[in-house]
Amino acid sequence: MRCMDVSLVLELRRELEGTRAEISHPGSETYHGDIKSWSDTCEKEAGAIVNVTSSEEVSITINFARKHHVEFVAKAAGHSTSNESATTGGIVISLHHMRKVLVDPASKTVAVQGGATWEDVNKATAEYGLAVVGATASQTGVAGATLGGGFGWLTGQYGLIIDNLVSARVVLADGSILDASEEENQDLFWALQGAGQAFGVVTELVFKAHTLSNKVFGGTLYYTADRLSKIVDFANWFHNQQDEKSGFFFGFRAPSPVEETMVMALLFYNGTMEKATSFFEPLLKLNSVLGKVDMMSYAQINRLANIEPKAEGRKWIGGTEVSFPLGKKLAHELWLEFNELMVLYPSMGNSVFAFELLPYAKITSVPIDATACANRDTSYNAGLLLCWRDANDDAVLGQKARALLRRVRRLQGRDESDEHVRSYANYAGHNYSPKYLFGSNLPRLQDLKKRYDPHNAFHKWHNLVPQIHDQRH
């Protein structure tokens, strides 16, 4: 692949003349701000950043990159930690300026540009007493969360984010711009619903919205480690209830460097205060040492999982599937391992390990082959986010993170030789082979890649093209 130089930057600028796209490159005043990412581990010295404002500008940039054999990547909100939105010497197509959200209250649909975050969407829909099934952290990008499948607080009632996707506009590797839905380009639409980042640059998404005119119940509570056994009891009870209006995340976090790792709980209930407090009564009686619960707006509850005060520093995201009921021994051993990490690296206070329990009846009611997303069984996500500052710790913390997730699987007695789905694609990073992410849907995805991306230009998220001797678990 060729690297961008001054002459190519000038030529690309001429190609985009007359558009509203802005280009920055090494030496530009805006360059360092433009390559900034949610995780410092994903900042690379790009040859050029094209801040696009339309699908047509994306198409022009892709055609230019292909013509000159320059690597290109797309960057929406840049919330991933797997470097799929970064390139050394190539072109970053940044959708940061494409953040418009248009709400149609009559049809209860919401059109969202590809660079928007869920915060943008939640603010726009709240004005009309509506909400879209979106991610549980409002800092995250709409496109990335959606195209990998998407779980959120409203999943129990309305399914995955992709189950609420009406249509998408995508720019393919050959520069063509297509609209995909159940009515047109159905095969592409199927692929976008779970493996979208591997097929093109999605510049607009249209979602179904749902009435949510009242406040919801929620909050974050912290407990001392001696309460873990009781919290596991509640989690197993929660699993058996499968109340579609509820959501419950719990796990481990050290609120400050001087404190022992606490047990964290995020509560959600789309109902009255009376109903919610009755549902969560066993937890509320445990007397948390930090945090609070209350009735709040949907936008507020989606901010609870954000990293505050600012999302700075180096990060690693990973995950695996976990089955319930959960053993107390497993939960305690994971707490010990996570706490040991926090003791060894006391600046990692924003790090968190969480079991993400969302009722799955709506998810499993959709057949596995109805969309590319293969996460439609009766298990849950276990997500791990590590945050640190020192680049010298990158390798060792990545190893420790992967080891912790392998431990989850081993302690659950998972057979590492089986072929079933092992992780949610948006949490998987590059730790799993695509066969463990897309399962029986992978052959169809690979066939569609030959049609829509025959040269595998979009390979940096999960590479769907068969790899020889792929040993990833």
Assess contact for 72 and 457: CB atoms under 8 A.
yes
Q: Is residue 1 part of a domain?
A: no
Same domain, 201 and 236: no
Residue 241, domain CATH = 3.40.462.20
Whole-prediction pTM value?
Answer: 0.95
Same domain, 299 and 184: no
Could you say which DSSP state residue 180 is in?
Answer: E
Domain boundary among 94, 124, 142: 94
342/77 Cα distance (integer angstroms): 28
Domain hosting 185: range is 101-211
- Looking at the fold, whether 81 and 184 belong to one and the same domain comes out as no
Same domain flag for 80 and 126:
no
Q: Are residues 82 and 119 in the same domain?
A: no
> For 355-367, what is each residue's pLDDT tens digit?
999 999 999 999 9
Q: Are 194 and 256 within one domain?
A: no
CATH number where 168 lies: 3.30.465.10
Q: d(Cα 283, Cα 266) in Å, to the nearest integer?
A: 11
- 280 and 164 fall within a common domain: no
Return the pLDDT at 348.
87
Q: Read out DSSP for 56-105?
A: HHHHHHHHHHHHTTB-EEEESS---SSSTT--SSSEEEE-TT---EEEET
Please check the confidence at residue 73 and state whether its pLDDT lies above 80.
yes
Together in a domain, 144 and 171: yes
pLDDT-based confidence at residue 307 (cuts at 50, 70, 90): confident
Task: Tell me: do 80 and 174 sit in the same domain.
Answer: no
In-domain check, residue 293: yes
Q: Which of 189, 211, 233 is the last residue of a domain?
A: 211
CATH of the domain at 22: 3.30.43.10
Token code pair at residue 336 = 């010990």
Mean pLDDT lowest among 169-178, 201-210, 287-296, 341-350 = 341-350
Q: 167, 189, 211: which is the final residue of a domain?
A: 211
Is residue 179 a part of any domain in this protein?
Answer: yes
User: Distance between CA atoms of 251 and 84, rounded to whole angstroms?
Assistant: 28
Say if residue 146 is in the same domain as residue 237: no
**Residue 437, domain member (yes or no):** no
Determine, yes or no, domain membership for 399: yes
- What is the SS3 assignment for 473? coil
> Would you say residue 391 lies in a domain?
yes
In this structure, the answer to whether residues 256 and 393 fall within a common structural domain is yes
Q: Provide the pLDDT confidence category of residue 257 given band limits of 50, 70 and 90.
A: low
What phi and psi, each to the nearest 5 degrees, are found at residue 333? -65, -35
Torsions phi, psi of 231, nearest 5? Answer: -70, -35
DSSP string, 388-404: ES-GGGHHHHHHHHHHH
241 & 274 share domain: yes
